[in-house]
Amino acid sequence: MEMPATKPDATVGADAKPIPSPLAGVYASAGARMGVWFGCALPDNFGDPAAEYRFANQTVALEDKNYRTHLKFTGPDRVRYLNAILTNDIKDLAAGQGTVSLLLNPQGHILAEIETYALADHHVGISYAMIREQLVQWIDKYIIMDDVTLADETDRWGTLALEGPQAGAVVKELARVDLQQLKELSSVDARLLSDHAAATASPEGGSQPAVSQVPCRIVKRSPGGVAGAEFVVERHHLQTLWRILLEATRSHGGGPAGYTALSAQRLAQGVPWFGYDFGEKQIPHEAGLENSHISYTKGCYTGQEIVERVRSRGHVNRRRVSLLFSGDDVPEPGIPLTADDGKEVGSVTRAARLWDPPRIIGMGYVRKDAEAPGTSLHWPGGTATVIGLP
């Protein structure tokens, strides 16, 4: 199967050998076209990216999230420790709640994006497998006097996700979990019933358990505001989980979606990707993450001085923007953006062709004097109009 060069930013290991997929056999049987996304071998498409894009917007899409690294934190000092290295507030998370944060270097630049989940007796940090080794080193070096144990459990866990208007209905059918009752990034333990049969009625009026069940943690995850859920399972359950979710999504008019469609979906939503649209070259305010990833009321953390300095100044010299491109070609990452006088004012990070209606949109960074919506810029294939700020 052909592997297109869909690489993340070079600062996060874009030239490394792709991390193999734990579902490689499933995708080979399905005839999926594979690509390299987030440094991992992931489905590029299942034959029709336009239909896959519509699944995520109109019915329900099944998505592979096995590009992630899973870190387990135990010990009595884990909350204090995590709160001291991450940008968001960890200390007030109750069991079953989560938040998304950044790990910064002392200069305020972004080393990693990390989702942190509080469970009954430990915390879980979820980030990107492409920075797995560096992340463990960065985090571990700060554990000096703290009673904290860090365990890398990446090889133990896998994740599949549902996204779209019918995602909630599928979750309720399979797991008896109502997503509407959960806050974003909240999670519950559940068991998915196999064969898309929640239970069968017995003659006595009770219920008869399904032949097999898949234990999982269901996380409400709705990127861009579209309803969704993630299913975290031990890896030996992944193939069974895929079969259950595939059957369920198809029964609701959906199906699997590859990353050609998902990249377009996130660009349409204005949702940036770590390693593509932000990373070590940026500080949070440049990437537009100051409201979603940072707490300004918690205690000190690495890089806080820079974050507070930028906040007090009130602006940065360049910012991430969404762009609408003219022309027939999709701009490559790194393509320069110029003003009418020919001066370079920014560059493209990622772009994609969208459907419904057809258009080409993307993201990039531009100077402050070019960030206003409606600003018309130029790239070698045509014009690029700023259509939104974070």
Q: What per-residue confidence (pLDDT) applies to 297?
A: 94
Q: What does the pLDDT average to over 201-226? A: 71
Question: CA-to-CA distance for 81 and 103, rounded, in angstroms?
Answer: 13
pTM (predicted TM-score): 0.92
Q: What per-residue confidence (pLDDT) applies to 346?
A: 99
213 — pLDDT class (breaks 50, 70, 90):
confident
Evaluate if residue 282 carries a pLDDT over 70.
yes
- Contacts with 73 (C-beta within 8 Å, 6 or more apart), sequence order: 81, 82, 122, 123, 124, 125, 148, 149, 150, 151
Domains in the chain with CATH codes = 48-64+157-267 (3.30.1360.120), 317-390 (2.40.30.110)
Tell which residue, 116, 35, 39, has the closest CA to residue 73: 116
Stated length of the chain: 390
Tell which residue, 214, 218, 177, has the closest CA to residue 193: 214
pLDDT digits (tens, 9 = 90+) for 307-322: 999 999 988 999 999 9
Tell which residue, 126, 135, 117, 196, has the closest CA to residue 157: 126
